[in-house]
Amino acid sequence: MSGWKELLTQAGYRVTEPRCAVMQLLLDSGMPLSPQALFESSRTQRQNLGLVTIYRTLELFEVLGLVCRVHLKDGCHGYLPVSPGHHHFVICEHCGGAVEFPGGDDLRMLIADIEAQTGYRVAEHLLQLIGLCPVCQAQRELA
């Protein structure tokens, strides 16, 4: 994900070492990381990130659209860096890897049907798919 530092600056925020560290950990991961997992990863890489700093950074990044919160199997939330625009994720149920895919207009018909059936007016949505990535599929076939 390029340009996140520029977006941060344009929104009036400083590009600090802790913010860079949190984003780099997310970018390097390839899978959703919870705040606790980010905290533990920062410790193994000898970075002094406090848990409160991580939570505040993730909150800011989410508000600015730099990360997306996803639901993990254990009931916690994880965070993934996102590209500009509307996006969704497919997450591997075995290894936890995640891939972003675009979305938005393709769901208009479904949302319209749901609104018609329920009387609700949908303001926003979260779509998260769970399955097996190609690597985990191949490993299962070999087993």
Higher model confidence: residue 57 or residue 111?
57
Angstrom distance (rounded) from CA 66 to CA 127: 17
Cα separations (Å) of 86 from 50, 94, 130, 140? Answer: 31, 26, 18, 32
Q: Two tokens at 26? A: 């997310």
Residue 121 pLDDT class (50, 70, 90 cuts): very high
CA 11/CA 57 separation, integer angstroms = 14
What is the overall mean pLDDT for the chain? Answer: 88
The band of 57, judged by pLDDT with boundaries at 50, 70 and 90, is: very high
CATH number for domain 85-143, candidates 3.40.50.720, 3.40.50.12160, 3.30.1490.190, 3.40.50.450: 3.30.1490.190
Q: Determine the length of the chain.
A: 143
Q: Are 47 and 21 in contact (CB under 8 A)?
A: yes
For CATH 1.10.10.10, the residue range(s) in the chain are: 1-82
**Which CATH architecture does the domain made up of 1-82 adopt?**
Orthogonal Bundle (1.10)
Rounded to an integer, what distance in angstroms lies between the CA atom of residue 72 and that of residue 5? 27
pTM for the model stands at 0.76
Query: Which pLDDT score, from 0 to 100, does residue 48 have?
Result: 81
Q: Which residues contact 14 (CB under 8 A, 6 or more apart)?
A: 8
Kindly report, as residue ranges, where domains of CATH 3.30.1490.190 are found in the chain. 85-143
Place of tokens 């991961």: 29
The label of the residue with tokens 């400083």 reads: 14
Asked if 90 contacts 131 with a C-beta cutoff of 8 angstroms, the reply is yes
